[in-house]
Amino acid sequence: MTNYFLLILGMGFVTYLPRLIPFIALNDSKINKNVKEFLSYIPYTSLSILIIRGIMTAGNGMKIATIAGIGIAGVLSYIKGNLVLSVLVGILLSFVIINTSIII
């Protein structure tokens, strides 16, 4: 039991440490405008990579459902700006397409 506790504690420390060091080191320093703008694009780039990878690695019967779900989620998030609604509708549409025999 203590072996697992020490393992979990060690993994938490190793995960937390790389986040803590830059936070402490860069706390009072000014960041260049260009670097700050570059860093602001990282979340969008990461999300795009995950979405494209999800489409490319989807199974043969799942590609249409995947593209439709992502498409409706993108449109809804653009129109409404509600993340939860967009994700739920995308999942629901993908579920409906997968579980019906309609072939588009």
Residue 72 has a pLDDT of 92
DSSP states of 8-37: HHHHHHHHHHHHHHHHHHTSSPPPPHHHHH
DSSP 102: -
Q: In this model, does residue 1 exceed pLDDT 70?
A: no
The answer to whether residue 104 scores a pLDDT higher than 70 is: no
The fraction of the chain above a pLDDT of 90, given in percent, is: 22
- pTM, to two decimals: 0.54
Q: In the structure encoding, which two tokens stand for residue 1, read together?
A: 């039991």
* Per-residue pLDDT, 64: 86
